[in-house]
């Protein structure tokens, strides 16, 4: 309605085009402006024409892009000659914190899909060949507090155990495959220097391009924690974090997304990333064929998880990023439905690669 009024600039003509009464349109616009907290239109001239404010221009511009995207999806859903299909859109929050796709997958989501697509913002428009599986652990050592000068023999330092654990990870680093990554940090400071620390808390993150290899390394890591506790004479707790799996790559899907991103005019096209982090979408792609397109909205070279990403989050480039991603995915779906044998080829490639990338 807002877009129609912006084009007509006259309440009666816009209402006629929408097949509603002028009063109904007026009420709708008033409620919309009230909900947004800003005026979208100003009335000018003798005829009180409806002219967009600067905020209104931006609102209508974005609304028209969303309508354009909806029309493309409607075309996709109403294709002639296509086999019967169902298009399912999942909202997947908390990717960077809890990895909620993992919990959703455990509760039955995604498993009904033949193919899964997603998009992600980035400094380039590209896909990934692979991603690192990741296991994280929160470790707490419990010792015995004592005065470090007056009665050190009565104390058992939880912090000593944590330092030994850190050193043990460094020794382990020499005896793991080249792709294994291990990170750690203290999550809580142990206290003043003149007191033997009774508690020490740290976070450990282990990664590998192979889920199976990571599981083997994780067993060795837990032995390090046990050994550190024995050396320091303390107790320990290990709390497992979310287990992110490695992706099973399907290069045909990667190419489909990139071909359609180019058709859509997405910026900063680049080759697939070989060096990547971890994602909960890896768990989805471990179970079904899938691919993620990363669409550029920040300058090349911008670090991930940086303030620059946050600052760009409400920019026109970020908004366009979503549109380009949606168009790329819609086009890839269209190709899968209209290219004979393509879906079967995707499934065959996935099955073959799953044998290789466990």
CA distance 10 to 164: 75
Residue 82 has pLDDT above 70, yes or no: no
User: Taking residues 168-193, what's their average pLDDT?
Assistant: 94
Question: Using an 8 Å Cβ cutoff, are 159 and 237 in contact?
Answer: no
Residue-level pLDDT at 16: 86
Q: 176 vs 357, which has greater pLDDT?
A: 176
pTM of the model: 0.74
CA distance 143 to 154: 10
Question: Using an 8 Å Cβ cutoff, are 278 and 120 in contact?
Answer: no
Q: Beta strand 116-122 with 290-296: parallel, antiparallel or unpaired?
A: parallel
- H or E, element range at 264: helix 251-264
What is the CB neighbour count within 10 angstroms for residue 297?
A: 25
Residue-level pLDDT at 79: 60
Locate 284 and state its tokens: 């989805």
Kindly report, residue by residue over 87-96, the tens digit of the pLDDT: 898 988 777 6
CA–centroid distance for 267 within its chain: 20
Residue-level pLDDT at 150: 93
Residue 148 DSSP SS3? coil
Domains of the chain: 2-77 (1.10.10.10), 100-131+246-356 (3.40.630.10), 133-240 (3.30.70.360)
Q: What is the DSSP string of 206-244?
A: EEES-HHHHHHHHHHHHHHHHHHHHHHT-EEEEEE---B
Strand partners, 293: 119
Kindly report, residue by residue over 263-315, the tens digit of the pLDDT: 999 999 999 987 888 999 999 999 999 999 999 999 988 888 888 888 988 88
pLDDT-based confidence at residue 247 (cuts at 50, 70, 90):
very high
| Burial class of residue 255 in the structure, from the number of CB atoms within 10 Å of its CB (0-12 exposed, 13-18 middle, 19+ buried) | middle
Residue 83 has pLDDT above 80, yes or no: no
End-to-end CA distance of the chain: 52
| Burial class of residue 26 in the structure, from the number of CB atoms within 10 Å of its CB (0-12 exposed, 13-18 middle, 19+ buried) | middle
User: Taking residues 62-90, what's their average pLDDT?
Assistant: 74
């Amino acid at each position: 309605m807002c877009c129609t009024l912006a084009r007509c600039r006259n309440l009666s003509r816009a209402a006629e085009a929408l097949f509603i009464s002028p009063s109904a349109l007026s009420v709708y616009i008033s409620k919309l402006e009230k909900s947004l907290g800003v005026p979208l239109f100003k009335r000018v001239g003798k005829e009180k024409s409806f002219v967009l404010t600067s905020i209104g221009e931006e609102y209508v511009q974005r609304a028209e892009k969303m309508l354009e995207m909806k029309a493309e999806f409607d075309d996709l859903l109403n294709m002639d000659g296509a086999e019967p299909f169902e298009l399912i859109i999942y909202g997947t929050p908390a990717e960077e914190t809890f990895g909620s796709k993992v919990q959703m997958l455990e509760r039955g989501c995604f498993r009904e899909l033949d193919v899964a697509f997603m998009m992600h913002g980035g400094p380039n428009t590209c896909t990934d060949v692979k991603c690192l599986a990741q296991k994280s652990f929160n470790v707490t050592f419990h010792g015995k507090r004592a005065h470090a000068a007056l009665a050190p023999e009565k104390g058992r330092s939880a912090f000593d155990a944590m330092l030994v654990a850190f050193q043990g990870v460094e020794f382990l680093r020499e005896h793991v495959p080249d792709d294994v990554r291990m990170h750690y940090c203290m999550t809580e400071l142990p206290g003043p220097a003149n007191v033997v620390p009774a508690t020490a808390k740290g976070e450990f993150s282990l990664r590998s391009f192979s889920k199976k290899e990571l599981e083997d390394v994780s067993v060795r890591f837990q032995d390090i924690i046990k050994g550190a506790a024995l050396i320091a004479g303390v107790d320990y707790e290990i709390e497992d974090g979310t287990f992110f799996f490695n992706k099973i790559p399907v290069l045909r899907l990667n190419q489909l997304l990139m071909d359609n991103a180019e058709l859509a005019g997405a910026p900063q096209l680049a080759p697939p990333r070989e060096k990547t982090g971890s994602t909960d979408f890896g768990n989805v792609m471990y179970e079904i064929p899938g691919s993620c397109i990363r669409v550029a909205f920040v300058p090349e070279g911008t670090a991930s998880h940086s303030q620059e990403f946050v600052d760009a989050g409400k920019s026109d480039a970020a908004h366009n990023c979503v549109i380009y991603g949606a168009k790329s995915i819609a086009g890839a779906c269209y190709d899968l439905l209209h290219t004979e044998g393509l879906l079967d080829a995707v499934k065959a490639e996935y099955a073959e690669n799953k044998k290789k990338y466990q």
